[in-house]
Amino acid sequence: MLAVRNLSISFRMYSAGLRQHEITPITGLDLEVRAGELVGIVGASGSGKSLLAHAILGILPANARTAGEIYFKETLLTPDRQKRLRGKEIALIPQSVGFLDPLMRVGQQVRRAAYLSGANGSAEAAQRQVFRRYGLRDEDAERYPFQVSGGMARRVLVSTAAVGQAALIIADEPTPGLHPAVVAETLGHLRQLADEGRAVLLITHDIGAALTVADRIAVFYAGTTVEVAPAADFQAGGQALRHPYTQALWRALPQNQFVPIAGSQPPPDQLPAGCLFAPRCPHVSAACRAARPELRLIRGGWVRCIHVEG
Amino acid sequence: MLKAEGLSFRYTPNSGWVFQNITFELRPGEIVGLSGPSGCGKTTLGKVLAGYISPTKGRLSLDDRPLPRRGYCPVQLIFQHPELAINTRWRMSQVLEESFSPPLDLLRALGIENGWLKRWPHELSGGELQRFAVARALAPGTRYLIADEITTMLDAITQAQIWQVILEQARRRNLGVLVISHEAPLLERVCGRVIELKQ
């Protein structure tokens, strides 16, 4: 459904006065999502998760330059095609209620999404149906965003994406700061959308949440894909995981060892020449510092590390 | 001891109660969790405990006295969104020094790099800013910390880094810490006991 190949994104920035410089927050990003599959994208803030979503939707700012390819349904996603498909075949579930129009009743917003995405039948019937599906009452449609609770707002946001026929749904951090019951419910809705045959991308920094519903987990670090692993590999001491960063992330969870590694992710203007994780890696060698490792298929998962063996 | 006795809060006499009749104690060196559904008043309670706002009813005391109204507050609140709690027109060094000049080993432990001190807040990520927010809340005058969902927006490694520092400081300096969070595994890991707030 979606294939991202060797994607890079650079921004031209003004440093002082009219002097410009370029930063490259995403380099060598690869990802694949199949129909019926839910892929979680995890990583620290600044690892390129949201930028990827914006690149797929074609809503990067004007000073951005991309290289590499994004394919949707086996065809290259060009800016023209992105414009035609977003909101119809590709839908976004945004982060918070702040993305709803504060001056429009929530039912109206879902009907508008239904209309724009070319849903079958009338927009109103589609909205009623999707509201019923997510346990919202008919009269809830008359409320304004400020009149709905955090949990209801989540259901409205999921409704805007589910009401159409989108084949690819991107959920960008849909759960932070929510009560566990609301988190579980929202994630369950995403899982259902995947089970209907859609492809779902769940962007989150919460690896524990992603693991409850994802088929595979893609781990981003400093703008690159360091590993793509089946969700089942995240268990016990993390021995089944391939990349040292993924293992560190797993071990740092409070339900695991809660042990951090030192240092922090390098900013885009200070990327190391070789492996991006080399400065914090316990297994670093001269070869790691010399060149960026290629993505390799090891034990049914993808990893960007020269030390992993099959 | 930080003591809340029958604390209640509402914004105006006509509005509903944000929370009502909350009583608990936080002793030095004690790490206590606070959880409850969204909208039950956890964040507002945090602001009352740190002296940002006064309770409508009830009494808040620190060692049987009201919180000092001048100078450095011994109860320090750390917010969920550091980007909203840091002066956007100050460089990061000034953000820190408003509170104190943290020793180098504290900055190292929090993963704060020297180069960040010259930066403006908008040039750093949420995780990087939150490390500063924690550092400045750990000035020598601090005796209690109110940590309001401080690592909710952060990845697991940054979360563990920040909590290891707070736990170590709490042990060494006998600080009392109130951990406001939705995340059960975190509360279970760091807290001695957990208070449940109801809607």
What is this model's ipTM? 0.89
How far does the CA of residue B86 sit from the closest CA of chain A (Å)? Answer: 18
Contacts of A179 in chain B (CB under 8 A): 37-38, 182
CATH value at residue A213: 3.40.50.300
Contact A43 B152 (CB under 8 A): no
Q: pLDDT tens digits for A170-208? A: 999 888 777 788 888 889 999 999 999 999 999 998 898
Q: Which residues of A touch B128 (CB under 8 A)?
A: 264
Q: Is the pLDDT of residue A12 over 70?
A: yes
Range list of β-strands (E), chain A: 2-16, 19-33, 38-42, 64-72, 75-76, 90-93, 168-172, 199-203, 216-221, 224-230, 296-298, 301-303
Quick one: what percent of chain B has pLDDT higher than 70? 99
Which of B155, B159, B163 to substitute to test the interface with A, most A CBs within 10 Å? B155
State how far residue B151 is from chain A, nearest Cα, in angstroms.
10
A86 contacts: CB under 8 Å, gap ≥ 6: A57, A58, A59, A92
Would you place residue A94 in the very low, low, confident or very high pLDDT band (cuts 50, 70, 90)? confident
CA A161/CA A89 separation, integer angstroms: 10
What is the overall mean pLDDT for chain A?
91
For residues A77-102, give the mean pLDDT.
89
Helix (H, G, I), strand (E, B) or coil at A60: coil
Packing angle, helices A150-162 and A180-195, rounded to 10: 10
What distance in Å separates the CA atoms of residue A298 and residue A303, rounded to the nearest whole number?
A: 7
pLDDT at A148 over 90: no
The answer to whether the Cβ–Cβ distance between A264 and B149 falls below 8 Å is no
Hey, are the CB atoms on B127 and A46 less than 8 Å from each other? Answer: yes
Tell me which fold the domain B2-196 belongs to.
Answer: Rossmann fold (3.40.50)
Give me the sign of the Cα torsion angle A100, A103, A104, A106.
Answer: positive
Within 10 angstroms of residue B37's Cβ, the number of other Cβ atoms is: 19
B37 in contact with A, Cβ within 8 Å = yes
**Residue A149: its pLDDT value, please?**
76
pLDDT score at A267? 86
Examine the pLDDT at A270 and tell me if it is beyond 90. Answer: no
Could you report the per-residue pLDDT of B72-87, keeping only the tens digit for each? 999 999 998 898 899 9
Q: What pLDDT is recorded for position A119? A: 66
Domain assignment present for A278: yes
pLDDT exceeds 80 at position A132: yes
pLDDT over 80 (residue B88): yes
- Percentage of chain A modeled with pLDDT above 90: 65
B-chain residues near A264 (CB < 8 A): 111, 113, 127-128, 158
Candidates A239, A238, A235, A180; CA nearest to A206 is A180
Q: What is residue A43's DSSP assignment?
A: -
**pLDDT tens for residues A207-216?**
989 999 999 9
The predicted pLDDT at position B30 comes to 97
Report yes or no on A186 lying in a domain. Answer: yes
Q: 3-state class of A38 per DSSP?
A: strand
What's the pLDDT band for A164 if we cut at 50, 70, 90?
A: confident
Residues of B within 8 A of A261 (CB-CB) are 157
- Note the pLDDT tens digit of each residue in B10-54: 989 998 899 999 999 999 999 999 998 877 889 899 999 999 999
A307: which 2 tokens?
Answer: 């030390």
The nearest alpha carbon in chain B to A245 belongs to B157
How confident is the model at residue A38, as a pLDDT?
98
Per-residue model confidence (pLDDT) at position B135: 97
Computed from CA positions of residues A281, A286, A288, A292, in that sequence, does the dihedral angle turn out positive or negative?
Answer: positive
Mean pLDDT of A91-101: 84
| Number of independent structural domains in chain A | 1
Domain carrying residue A252: 2-89+166-303
pLDDT of A134 higher than 80: yes
> Is residue A68 assigned to a domain?
yes
Predicted local confidence at residue A19, as pLDDT: 83
Q: Which residues of A touch B (CB under 8 A)?
A: 42-46, 149-151, 176-183, 205, 207-208, 248-250, 252-255, 258-264
The predicted pLDDT at position A186 comes to 86
